[in-house]
Structure 1
Amino acid sequence: MVDKNKVFQWVDSHSEEAVDLLKDLIRIPSVNPYFKDEVRLQKEGRIQEYLKNYIEQLGFETELTYPDAQKLIQYKDKAGYMADHTFADRPNLYGVLKGTGKGKSIFLSGHTDVVATGTKWTHSPYEAEQDGDCIYGRGSVDMKGGIAAMIFAVKAILECGVHLAGDVKIGTVVDEESGGMGTLALMAEGYRADACLLTEPTSLNMAPLCRGILWGKIIVEGQAGHIELQRQDWRKGGAVDAIDKAAYILDYFDQLNKEWEVTKVHKYLPIPCQVKFAQFDAGEYPTTFANRAELTFDAQYLPKEKDVDGLGGNVKKEIEKFVFDVAQTDPWLKENVPEVEWILDADCGETSDKEEFFHVFSNAVRQVVPASQIIGNPAHVDMGWFCNVGIPTFIFGPGNPMQCHQADEHIAKSEFIEAVKAIASTVMDWCGTDE
């Protein structure tokens, strides 16, 4: 029987080598072009080449594939498809390390793209500066820490002479931060495994599900008029304040959210699904009642609410009907029903606690991190497509999710090293080992 402690001790004695891998990844800027950051920071192709060379040295067979909207046209109504996304020098990386053929396979996956650099950094975002236990940099948490941890976990296993029975497959993808077309393309290529570990940051907790996310906009029409004069009835051409009507609608959404607090909950999620308004745009001049208002919102949905395309169509209809019903309670809105415009639908996924991988994974992690909890991921990650094709999937990785997308994003070295051990433990237990 393999002595896991030997692997764990090797990781501890080579922790600086693991950190060097992470720092190398941070020092290759890989901002998703969606964010229109400086072109010199958009090096998704370069980071994939680095990872390709690294895992080839471990014995992986690799290939780079490029998502193509035209080739994926059959998925145009499915999760992740973006007709206008292009992928020049933005490849996915796939690699496989063959086992002896006697065990189960595992996918280790993560995204290499990061969000825009942002402002107000006190540490350089791409120098991988280390201050005590903290390693700073854009992508350190989201999610180069997870990618470095999963790859170094495999290296630790191999360096200790452990022979895996099942295959280890690595898929690092692009475009997660702007819709998930990278993972869609990876699955469309036909790559499969018996289980998947998505190494997004979870503070070393174990997430068997993530929520779906809808972005939408409610467009409320008004009727312009001089704001300083007495208003006539709108039926006689008087002004209607779109801001006032938008506020009317917002009050009703408070009631809907109270209902959702009871009906849209999950035993593994710390918070219920809600409709949260993030942007308000209205009016033209300070002296004129707003003739139009736009309310932009974020709404979450549960895996059980997915439609036949694996998306949030059912919840879209629910929100559209709610807005229509609210409009029936106000004379102006009844004749000028607000339009709901949809901006984004990011899918979700869930792994049942009846799955074998659920129990193997949780036991393997707790051998390293006894305090690790099973808790759902409230935000969207690239979990949905793995689940859609029947691969039981967990989200697990180093780093506090609250650090994602922030200035001075940083990861704790100690937690990163614990993640390496926990992933190694999972790979050995799931894939099996041959003496």
Structure 2
Amino acid sequence: MNQEQQIMRWIDGHQEEIIDFLRQLIRIPSVNPWFFEEPGPSKEKDLQEFLAGKLSGLGARIEQWEPVADELKQYEGMAGYYPGRDFTGRPNLAATFEGEAAGKSLLLFGHIDVVMAGSKWTVDPFEGQIIDGNMYGRGTVDMKGGVAAMIMAVEAVLRSGFKPKGSVIVGTVVDEEAGGMGALDFIHHGYRADACILTEPTSLTIAPLCRGILWGKIKVQGRSGHIEMPQADWKDGGAVDAIKKARYLLDEIDRLNEDWAVRKTHPYLSIPCQVHVAQLKAGEYPTSFANEAEIVFNAQYLPSERDDKLVGGHVKKELIDFLMQAAQADPWLSEHPPEIEWLVDADCAETDADHPFVQTCVHSLQAIGESGKIEGLGFHTDMGWPVNVGIPTVNFGPGDPSLAHHSDEFTPVEEVIQAVKMIAKTIIDWCGVEEA
């Protein structure tokens, strides 16, 4: 029996242990405090402490630290930097399994924060219940299933009596769900490798691309007035319905999306970039025309559109110019132009699909009976900063990404096991293994 067969046999014989490890991660509700209505303690530290105990027990050298926003000022204007963000009790974690020069190094990377559970669950979101072969719980998809798989892949190699020839670093970070400052800080801390698997959910496909995401708020001005009374022309002081003006801009956004659907595409993405309206807020009283309206949107951009700071500055300018042009066609808006407040710029990145590491991952996936399909991710992941410093990176993990953030989020148990096998196979082929 060769090395690979022994490691795969260990995984097959310890499936319950692997799934129970994921269940333990789900049971620690590491909700990013950005989602709290009021400030409160985060459980991110509790989860990192749990992982540190697991990884140190496997022989890793452990480092934990809390990011400090003031120490990252040099990245102002770049991805993941948010001045003044507080990371008290929210540490990053790096666990290093030292290898020798004979093998290439590998970073296994993931975030441990999750969004809030929200409503309409039919099961406990922090229990890890298995129904019909699927594990339910907040984070099973995004992305504790992947974190569990990458750690258990390392354990499978070690418990089978081998050790990687090249160093393997397990990095788990905070804050991805609110912009990615944890990943920025991890790279700033100096961690590097010859390649990286970011274990975001991909339904077991290889994703060497993710899109950038812009969150913005368009503020549309109106002028309040009694909704049941005749109104003078706005130039004479009459009311202006901010909702009506917002509706006009929404129609213009629809037209913009028709253009983007043609221009902003990628061969590895199934859908084009669009400007999706996510929230609307307007009005104060049922008897008054809305004085102001707010349109909160989510716009995506491609790696080819990044600016000199490797974020979405070009697309921001495009959207501002579009909005001003639309405003010029409306007499009121031309004199009272809408404003955009930028909320989040979550970066994107791409690794060439022909890169040897990408192909290694494809072959690893094919070796365990999967198709080895390559496709991009329409959402942001933390792959930007590893790629920015020259680390070829792919996204790969269990779970359907369309189920992330859903009520009754779930991941097929079998996909978790397959992800463990693929990552273990990549450690064998990329890093090399030898008897411990």
Whole-Å separation in 1 of the counterparts to 2:166 and 2:56: 18
Deviation of 1:291 after TM superposition, in Å, equals: 2.3
The CA deviation at 1:27 is 1.6
SS of structure 1 residue aligned to 2:246: helix
Structure 2 matches for 1:95-174, cutoff 5 A? Answer: 95-174=95-174
The Cα shift of 1:434 comes to 4.0
* Residue of structure 2 equivalent to 1:210: 210
2:220 maps to a residue whose letter is V
State the 1:330 CA deviation: 1.6
Separation in 2, partners of 1:149, 1:57: 17
Distance 2:351 2:92 in 1: 24
Q: CA deviation at 1:255?
A: 1.2
Q: CA deviation at 1:303?
A: 0.8
Structure 1 position 419, deviation (Å): 0.7
Q: Retained in 2: the 8 A contact 1:312–1:347?
A: yes
How far off is 1:37 after superposition?
Answer: 7.1
Do structure 1's residue 433 and structure 2's residue 429 form an aligned pair?
no
Residue pairs, 1:171-320, within 5 angstroms = 171-320=171-320
TM-score using structure 2 length: 0.96
| Letter paired with 1:307 | D
Measured in 2, the distance between the counterparts of 1:319 and 1:333 equals 16
Cα offset, 1:358, TM superposition: 1.5
Per-residue CA deviation, residues 15-69 of structure 1 (Å, 9 max, x unaligned), is 1111121111112221111222798873211211111111122221111111001
Residues 1:333 and 1:40: Cα distance change in structure 2 (over 3 Å): closer
Query: 1:353-383 CA deviation, whole Å, 9 max, x = no partner?
Result: 2322111111111211422421111111111
Give the Cα separation in 2 of the matches to 1:139 and 1:294: 31
Aligned equivalents of 1:186 and 1:394: distance in 2? Answer: 17
1:76 Cα deviation (Å)?
A: 2.4
In 1, distance between residues paired with 2:354 and 2:131?
A: 43
Q: 2: distance between equivalents of 1:229 and 1:105? A: 72
SS of 1:294 mapped into structure 2 = strand
**Equivalent residues of 1:2, 1:162 under 8 A apart:** no
**Structure 2 counterpart of 1:17:** 17
What's the secondary structure of 1:345's corresponding residue?
Answer: strand
Number of aligned residues: 435
Tell me what 2:360 maps to: 360
Greater alpha carbon shift after TM alignment, 340-349 vs 77-86: 77-86
1:239-258, Cα deviation, whole Å (9 max, x unpaired): 22221111111111111101
Show CA shifts across 1:302-329 (max 9, x none). 1111111121111000000001111111
Separation in structure 2 between the aligned mates of residue 38 and residue 240 of structure 1, nearest angstrom:
35
Secondary structure in structure 1 of the residue aligned to 2:398: coil
CA-CA distance at 1:235 after TM superposition: 1.6
Distance 1:358 1:117, change over 3 A: same
Q: Which runs of 4+ in 1 moved over 4 A?
A: 37-41
Mapped to 2, the partners of 1:340 and 1:89 lie a distance apart of 33
Cα RMSD, aligned residues only: 1.8
Larger CA deviation: 121-130 vs 292-301: 121-130
Task: Note the alpha carbon deviations across 1:206-259, whole angstroms, 9 max, x for none.
Answer: 111111111111111122223223332222222222211111111111111011
* Deviation, structure 1 residue 164: 2.1
Query: SS state of the match for residue 11, structure 1?
Result: helix
TM-score by length of structure 1 reads 0.96
Contact 1:30 1:41 in 2 (8 A): no
SS at match of 1:142: coil
Aligned sequence identity (%):
53
Report the Cα offset of residue 126 of structure 1.
2.0
Q: How far, CA to CA, are the matches of 1:39 and 1:296 in structure 2?
A: 23
Letter paired with 1:216: G
